[in-house]
Amino acid sequence: DTFLEDDVSPPRVSHGERERIEELPDLMDRIHKMGMTDEYMAFRNRYMGWRQGAARGASGELEARIVRNNTGFGYWYPTVQVWQWRRTLSYWISVTFFEGSLFFAISSFLWCWPDKLGRLKAAVTTWGYVGGKINFFICTYLMCLETINLSNAEHGSGHGSSKKTLADFENGHAKTQSVDTSSTTRAKSRSVFDSDSSDNETDATDSEDEDEEPFMFWPFHVRTAIRKLDSLGAGPWPYYASAIYFVGVLVFTVGLAADFIKSLPEEVSSWTLKLAFLIGSFMFAAGGLFECIENKVFTSCTWDQGYVGALLNLLGGLGFVVGAIIGLPDGYAFASNFSYGVGSVIYAAGSAVMIVMWKDEQFGLTFLAVLNQLGGPNGKPIV
């Protein structure tokens, strides 16, 4: 407690250190070329508010460490690289889900009137399903990738493991800012705390590097995924949802592949497609169910973006299930394809919600809620 006393002298910046700060490169041009100016300025404002004790920030380094340990922003995004990685990953998850839903919706509705399509029938129906499957495959694989390799400030992962913190990112623009030499109590305590911990910083960094797990590309590391999610306090449902969606896409692909194999008897090809679509539809509905559990849809009534998106995904999956069941007997192709189309439109609405969540920096989307609960309005992160 002695380092909080008023008699501690305020931190001073030496002339040499000032010169080194002045020599740091200005990275704003590179940030602007990357199209990340708005994101950087938002991070900068939140970070400066955190360091200066703003209302939504902590009042100092000690409190910031407590917030980080309490699953705040710094807990899940310990480095700029981790933030950039999850931002990119969640973008492609939401966009490919949306595009796949559109492909499926258009092709399903067009399947209702196959006789009127003429020579375009295969292009706008079967190949539309292929386009949708490609997008769904990318989406669900990236979901598995994110859940298996989830990490935080205490548990590193192989990707983006360099220890470039948000403070380092901020210092890239430091030469345009004046050096704060205020003598507030907060600055005093931070200065002494930093000096006390500097001796152990290098050893701690080396230890973290040794403990980092390799980045995993195989989506079926089930035990590893469950163990990591449990240790991080995220629970198993994010991986369950991701994996069941991914397997569902693979099953759907089997049905489509059978339709392309002309050497198969027509009856075998037809029933392979019907059963594969039935099983895949149940798996997609199960994925939506797991997302609902993850977002507490059945135990709360928050109606936030994650809640609505997960509920829409469940309803979209149920639309698929209805279409698959109706399509089992002959003579109900119109009703079956129409139901698939309705389910796809609902999926498109759910994925549109995911895109909005990405814009709000809720990179957990509908399947990884812990990344969305970061203390800000509507789940937006605050530093």
**Average pLDDT of 120-134?**
91
Model confidence at 9: pLDDT above 70: no
CA pair distance 188, 59, nearest whole angstrom: 12
**Average pLDDT of 24-44?**
78
Give yes or no for a contact between 145 and 217, defined as CB atoms under 8 angstroms apart: yes
CA pair distance 245, 290, nearest whole angstrom: 10
Whether pTM > 0.85 for this model: the answer is: no
Model confidence at 177: pLDDT above 80: no
Higher pLDDT, 53 or 85: 85
* Cβ density class 91-128: b for 16+ within 10 Å, e for less: bebbbbbbbbbbbbbbbbbbbbeeeeeeeebeeebeeb
Long-range contacts of the stretch 62-66 (C-beta < 8 A, 24+): 62/189, 62/193
C-alpha dihedral over 223, 229, 235, 238, to 10 degrees?
A: -90
**Residue 49 CB: number of other CB atoms within 10 A?**
16
**Average pLDDT of 79-85?**
87
With tokens 């690289």, the residue in question is: 81
Provide the pLDDT confidence category of residue 5 given band limits of 50, 70 and 90. very low
Q: What is the pLDDT of residues 183-230, one digit of tens each?
A: 444 444 444 444 444 444 445 444 544 456 788 899 999 998 999 888
Give yes or no for a contact between 277 and 325, defined as CB atoms under 8 angstroms apart: no
* Cβ density class 161-185: b for 16+ within 10 Å, e for less: beeebbeebbebbbeeeeeeeeeee
